[in-house]
Amino acid sequence: ELIIKAAFKMCVQDGASAGKTLPERVKIVEVGPRDGLQNEKTVVPSEVKIHLIDMLSEAGLSVIEATSFVSPKWVPQMADQVEVMMGIHRRPGVSYPVLTPNLKGFLAAVNAGAAEVAIFGAASELFSKKNINCSVDESLQRFEVVTKAAKEAGVPVRGYVSCVLGCPYEGKVSPDKVAQVAKRLYSMGCYEISLGDTIGVGTPGGMTEMLQAVSREVPVNALAVHCHDTYGQALANILIALQMGISVVDSSVAGLGGCPYAQGASGNVATEDVVYMLHGLGIQTGVDLPKLMDAGAFICCSLNKKTSSKVAQATCKL
């Protein structure tokens, strides 16, 4: 009775206070070195990749997606996967997951020293067909081979679901479809499911609806959001996700990685901008923002491009 009374009071608080309890701590999954660089046209030397990852480790990020064990034919940017894994300075307590599309990639990853891997499913059939040339179901079967092997090897697996708020080919995507795919990935052993708004079309209402559907199938503390900022909606979507209990957020230093489906448009949300918002909200991340900005400046210099982070762009000159 007491609990219900307290909850009741919380619910009917008038609009004057934000009301919703935000998490005290948010884990940031830094995808710049993999997702970011993979979507940049300029091929980056291994030393630069390694130095970037080391700088990100220094900046206090606890998860840094290091590279991808996809065939170099498909993704030339990630051809130096082994050198990168061997070259990075692994900071204690920091995880360096790598992408593994299949068993072959998984074995190569473990051989190269990977202690965590990631697999990518999609919530859209057309996207799955166009991206990896098979149906969603077929891809999940392929992944089950990976998760079995990973379990035996004691390697944690993170699952990604693409197109959770819209697909460049199918348009609208059903939240229930997303929930089904997330559930499959979770049941086959993924410790965390990252829900990706691949083309950044989502808005907070859609994010809420999708998370409601998915959290009926997967515990909310095993969920993460991977928002793209293609339409400028990322931080608003992240905020609403936090209000709904999400406490893991993917982002990319300097907002690396454009959108392959919208020429000239932005892609990943910038880690600096996410951290700025989280710290402003009093949420701990463990990230040192100035050091993070140094890492962003470094990689933009190497890529000879301007940062996509607004926080990085704003230099107050008074």
Q: Between 43 and 281, name the residue whose CB sits nearer to its own copies.
A: 281
Binding mask 236-275 for its own copies (x = CB under 8 A): x-xxx--xxx-------------x-xxxxxx---x--x--
How far, in Å, CA of 73 to CA of 71, rounded? 5
Contact with its own copies (CB under 8 A) among 210, 300, 303, 311? 311
Per-residue binding letters, 282-301, with its own copies (x by CB under 8 A): x-------------------
Cα–Cα distance between 37 and 110 in angstroms, integer? Answer: 22
> Strand, helix or coil at 149?
helix
**Residue from 1, 24, 93, 154 that binds its own copies (CB under 8 A)?**
1
Pair type for strands 157-162 and 192-197: parallel
Q: Closest CB to its own copies among 189 and 245?
A: 245
**Residue among 46, 71, 135, 203 that touches its own copies (CB under 8 A):** 203
Tokens 């998860």 — which residue? Answer: 63
Q: Which of 97, 120, 91 has the alpha carbon at shortest distance from 109?
A: 97
- Integer Cα distance of 295 and 58 in angstroms: 9
Q: Which of these, 76, 28, 40, 70, lies nearest to 299 by C-alpha position?
A: 40
CA 156 from centre of chain: 16
In this chain, which of 2, 9, 73, 154 binds its own copies, going by CB under 8 A? 9
Q: Rounded to the nearest whole angstrom, what is the least distance from the CB of residue 20 to its own copies in the complex?
A: 5
Q: Does 14 bind its own copies (CB under 8 A)?
A: yes
* Matching residue, tokens 């092997």: 149
CB of 209 to its own copies, least distance (A): 9
Site residues for its own copies, 166-195, by CB under 8 A, read 168-169
Catalytic residue set? 259
Rounded CA separation 220/211 (Å): 8
Among the residue ranges 63-71, 154-162, 184-192, 279-287, the one whose residues contact its own copies (CB under 8 A)? 279-287
- Nearer Cβ to its own copies, position 18 or 43? 18
Number of residues that bind its own copies (CB under 8 A): 67
For 8, other C-beta atoms within 10 Å of its C-beta total 9
The CA distance from 310 to 119, in Å, is 30
162 touches its own copies (CB under 8 A): no
Q: Are 267 and 200 in contact (CB under 8 A)?
A: yes
Residues comprising the chain, all counted:
318
Interface residues with its own copies (CB under 8 A)? 1, 4-5, 7-21, 168-169, 199-200, 202-206, 208, 212, 215, 229-233, 235-236, 238-240, 243-245, 259, 261-266, 270, 273, 276-277, 279-282, 309-311, 313-318
